[in-house]
Amino acid sequence: MTRSSRWNTQKRSLVGASLTHALHDGYTDSLYAFMPVWQAQFGLSYAALAVIRALYYATMGGLQLPADRLLRGWSPRAALILSTAIAGTGLVIMALPLGLAGLCVGLVVAGIGSSIQHPRASLLVTDSYGDAARHPLGIYNFAGDLGKAVLPALVALLLTVLAWQPVLRLMAMLGIALIFTLVRLVPSVSAATKSRRQATISRQRGGFRILTVIGGFDTATRMGYLLFLPFLVQGRGGGLPTVGVALALLFIGGAFGKAVFGGLGERLGVVRTVMIAEATTASLIFATLFTPLSLTLVLLPLLGIVLNGTSSVLYGTVPELSDGDTGWAFAIFYTSVIGSGGLAPILYGAIADHSTRSVGVLAAAATAVLIIPLVLALGRHLRSPATEIQ
């Protein structure tokens, strides 16, 4: 393969993986825009809403490792097409007139589809770029945030003029468009590198375990706050369009945070960067409990920067703390953070149901604070102690 053709293959692989990431992450976070509608139609409590969403989120997280194992022999194009087709089918099932049971079944099917995307797309980028994959992986990760920023806002606006079932069908049509794009775009080559060793995660096993716990807590904070954000906005007089704007502001800040914190992590070190981010996150979450709607909207992009920026630092640390198959290590890390994102809001929702919504929000902020001692322990396992707090 010539240098020019190899570069073209790399670019096509990265674009295909990034488009898939953007759509699937957009699917995931668009569920928040539907929550007030589902709560009103089905008479659901906060905890019940979290359980329903967990059907999608926990399925997506729990099947990361099996999906990585089962599809190792598939081409990247086939794996990403399968992922999108199953997720789109789930959305169609949700939109059928089958009541709450149909909604739940559709969420599970959509979660199965999205479980395939993360490990296979990440490994596609890693295989395509080899040792130079850190920056392309950052682009792939950033693309997911663009999907989170655009699709939930679009869904919230559509819900003002359409019922929620037609909106789901329109989302499924986006998946069909992506499938046709992937057929033409992504190279039909082996998804696995035969020389790759199986992951052992032995040399830095302790550090990797701490990293996965931190990733889980970081995601729990983010998803817990997102559970309550639509209701915080509505409680201050905001309608569905304002909910969409609020989510977009938070996600746009999050996308910018990934870019900012990637460089900040290299300059300040993982420990200092994560400590600053988590302390700021807890402070801003607390502040949004007391600010008027206009000021809350101003604070949301800032909160998004620190709330989501840490994930870029943590994600980039996975290769350093894992031996062997980096794709398998990413699957483990994704399992931790996605599983946490599915289960933690159930706890926060139960707390809010048995106390107040504000107490539930404060529980999410407290989780961010818990990360600080953990990241101090993580510093002892990193290869560049000169940049870390000992």
Q: Is 198's pLDDT higher than 50?
A: no
**CB-count burial class (<10 Å; 0-12, 13-18, 19+) for 2:** exposed
Cβ atoms of 253 and 301 within 8 Å: the answer is: yes
pLDDT in tens, 49-92: 878 878 887 788 788 888 878 887 788 788 899 999 999 999 99
pLDDT at residue 117, rounded to an integer: 87
The candidate with the shortest Cα–Cα distance to 87, out of 106, 71, 61, is 106
Please name the fold of domain 197-390.
Growth Hormone; Chain: A; (1.20.1250)
Q: Hey, where are the domains in the chain? A: 1-194, 197-390
The candidate with the shortest Cα–Cα distance to 93, out of 82, 84, 104, 85, is 104
Question: 355: Cβ–Cβ under 8 A, 6 or more apart, which residues?
Answer: none
383 pLDDT band, cuts 50/70/90, is low
The more confident residue out of 332 and 203 is 332
Q: What's the chain's average pLDDT? A: 83
Cβ atoms of 262 and 171 within 8 Å: the answer is: no
**CB-count burial class (<10 Å; 0-12, 13-18, 19+) for 179:** middle
pLDDT at residue 385, rounded to an integer: 44
Return the DSSP state at 199: P
Cβ atoms of 293 and 242 within 8 Å: the answer is: yes
Cβ atoms of 202 and 288 within 8 Å: the answer is: no
How many Cα atoms are found within 13 Å in the side-chain-facing hemisphere of 206? 8
Q: Is 388's pLDDT higher than 60?
A: no
Cβ atoms of 218 and 211 within 8 Å: the answer is: no
**The CATH number of the domain covering residues in 1-194:** 1.20.1250.20
Write down the pTM of the prediction. 0.72
The tokens for 336 are: 């931790």
Same fold, 1-194 and 197-390: yes
